Amino acid sequence: MKFSSKVEKCELSPMRKFHPYAVAAKAKGRSIYHLNIGQPDIATPQAYFDAVRSFDRPVLEYAPSGGIPELIAAVQKYYADLDIHYTADEILITTGGSEALQIAINCIIDDGDEIIIPEPFYPNYNTIVHTCGGKICPVPTKPEEGYHYATREKIVSRINERTRAILLTNPGNPTGTVLTAEEMRMLVDIAKEYDLFLIGDEAYREFVYGGEALQSFGSYDDAREHIIVVDTVSKRFSACGARVGCLLSHNKAFLDHAMKYCQCRLAVATLDQVAAAALYSVDGDYFAAVREEYKLRRDTVVRKLKEIPDVICECPKGAFYLMAALPVDDADKFQRWLLEEFEDNGETVMFAPGEPFYGTPGKGKNEIRIAYVLQQQKLERAMDLLALGIKAYNAR
C-alpha cells in the first residue's frame, strides 16, 4: 500500500526511542530522574476543576467552531491587560497550541515553500512543516553564544523567493532564550520589509526570570497583517491536558482561511473551553509563585552545570528548558549508556539528546535539552548524577 510522500518524510518522536531502555532500567530496579519531558509538576489551578464540576447542561453539544464566547472574552481581556487589543473575531480557539501551529502553517506553506526557524527548535515543527510539503530553513546558533539568533544579517541572509514566514518560539523551547524588545522590533521590521508572516509561538510567555514585562509579537500594531500569535493555556496554567490554545491575528484573509480548518474539525472540546475560561480568573500571585519556583530551579541547574568541567551553557532567560553542550562524543550514545550501564545508588538520569532539535544534519550531537520540571532537591540530585555519569562515561 502506498502512503503520502509527505508523511513518509516525517519521523516518530525521537524521544520515544529511549522508552524501551528506560523500561528495562526500571525493571532492573533503577530510579530515573526525568529531565527529558516538558510536563510541569505544578498543580493546575482549582478554578479549572471547579468549572468542570459546575457544568450542568444535559447535552454536551458542539461548541462554535471558532470557540465559545466566554473563553474568547477571557483571552481578549488577558491581552487587553497587556495593552494588546484583539476583537473577538480575531481570536480562534484551537485544540492546544499544537493545532494553532498546524492551522497557521497549513494556511501559509505550500509545496516547496520555506519557513525560517532558528535552530535548535521544537522537533514537532518538522512534522507540521513537512506534512504541508514545506521546508524549514534553519537559522544556526552556537551554545557558546547562548543560542542567540536575533541578528538582522542572520535572518535576512536566509530569505529567498520561496520564503513565506519566520517562526519564532519566544521564550524559546528548547533553548530558553528570550528576545529583547529591540530584537523583536528588528524581526518585525524584517517581516514587513520582505512581506513575510511572522508567527510567534508564545506558549511560555509567563516564564521569564529577569523581571521583564510580558511581551508578545501581537503588540506590534504597525505589522498587523504580518503577525500571527500562537498561544495556549498548557504551560501558563499547567493545564497541558486541557488541549486548549488559540490563534490571534489581525489579518482578515488569514483568519478566513484558518476558519476553514476550524469548521472542518467542527469544534474544540466544550467542557475544556468552559474550564479554560475559568483559568483566566487566576490572579497575579499564582504566576509570581510559579515564576519564582522555576527561577530557583533554573538557577540550580545552571549552577550545577557550571560546576561540571567542559560543559558549555549560558544561563537561559525564560521557559523551563535549557540546552547545553556536554564533553561527550555523542549525547545519544551517552543517554543509552546512562540507562543501560550507569547507576549511582540505584539511580540514573534522562534528558533529551540535542540532535533532533536541529534542522541542519549532524548538528547538536554533543548537546542535550534539560527540562527543569522537578522539585529543587530532585534537581540537585539529577544534576549530580549527570556529572557522575559524564565522568564515568569518559573514563570507560
If binding is defined by CB under 8 A, does position 127 make contact with its own copies?
Answer: yes
Least distance between its own copies and beta carbon 12 (Å)? 6
Question: Distance between CA 325 and CA 178 in Å, rounded?
Answer: 19
Q: In which element (H, E) is residue 35 found?
A: none
Residue 125 near residue 99, CB atoms below 8 Å: no
Instruction: Tell me the three cell numbers of residue 151.
Output: 541578528
Question: Distance between CA 151 and CA 183 in Å, rounded?
Answer: 7
In angstroms, how far is CA 308 from the centroid of its own chain?
27
Question: Distance between CA 216 and CA 236 in Å, rounded?
Answer: 14
Instruction: Tell me the three cell numbers of residue 18.
Output: 529511549
Q: Which of residues 273-332 bind its own copies (CB under 8 A)?
A: none
Beta strand ranges found along the chain (DSSP E): 31-34, 91-94, 114-118, 135-139, 163-169, 197-201, 227-232, 245-249, 321-325, 347-350, 352-353, 367-371
If binding is defined by CB under 8 A, does position 264 make contact with its own copies?
Answer: yes
Q: Which residues pair with 325 in a beta bridge?
A: 312, 367
Stretch that binds its own copies, among 107-115, 171-179, 289-297, 298-306 (CB under 8 A): 107-115
Q: Which of residues 195-234 bind its own copies (CB under 8 A)?
A: 195, 197, 225-226
Q: Which of residues 40-59 bind its own copies (CB under 8 A)?
A: 40-44, 48-49, 52-53, 55, 58-59
If binding is defined by CB under 8 A, does position 18 make contact with its own copies?
Answer: no
The 3-state DSSP class for residue 187 equals: helix
If binding is defined by CB under 8 A, does position 116 make contact with its own copies?
Answer: no
Stretch that binds its own copies, among 36-44, 75-83, 150-158, 347-355 (CB under 8 A): 36-44
If binding is defined by CB under 8 A, does position 131 make contact with its own copies?
Answer: yes
Least distance between its own copies and beta carbon 186 (Å)? 20
Q: Which of 25, 63, 117, 203 binds its own copies (CB under 8 A)?
A: 63
Instruction: Tell me the three cell numbers of residue 331.
Output: 549525547
Q: Which of 91, 108, 179, 374 binds its own copies (CB under 8 A)?
A: 108
Q: Which is nearer to its own copies, 55 or 281 (CB)?
A: 55
Q: Which residue carries 554533543 as its cell?
A: 366
Q: Which of residues 347-376 bind its own copies (CB under 8 A)?
A: none
If binding is defined by CB under 8 A, does position 31 make contact with its own copies?
Answer: no
Least distance between its own copies and beta carbon 56 (Å)? 8
If binding is defined by CB under 8 A, does position 27 make contact with its own copies?
Answer: no
Q: Which of 18, 36, 90, 96 binds its own copies (CB under 8 A)?
A: 96
Q: Which of residues 133-162 bind its own copies (CB under 8 A)?
A: 133
Instruction: Tell me the three cell numbers of residue 134.
Output: 514545506
Q: Which of 115, 198, 267, 352 binds its own copies (CB under 8 A)?
A: 267
Least distance between its own copies and beta carbon 212 (Å)? 27
What is the torsion angle, in degrees rounded to the nearest 10, for the CA atoms of residue 122, residue 128, residue 133 and residue 138?
A: -10
Residue 64, CB half-sphere, CA atoms under 13 Å: how many?
13
Which string of x and - marks every residue 181-200 that binds its own copies (by CB under 8 A)? --------------x-x---
Q: Which of 188, 223, 242, 388 binds its own copies (CB under 8 A)?
A: 242
Per DSSP bridges, beta strands 135-139 and 367-371 are: unpaired
If binding is defined by CB under 8 A, does position 164 make contact with its own copies?
Answer: yes
Q: Which is nearer to its own copies, 225 or 347 (CB)?
A: 225
Question: Distance between CA 263 and CA 61 in Å, rounded?
Answer: 15
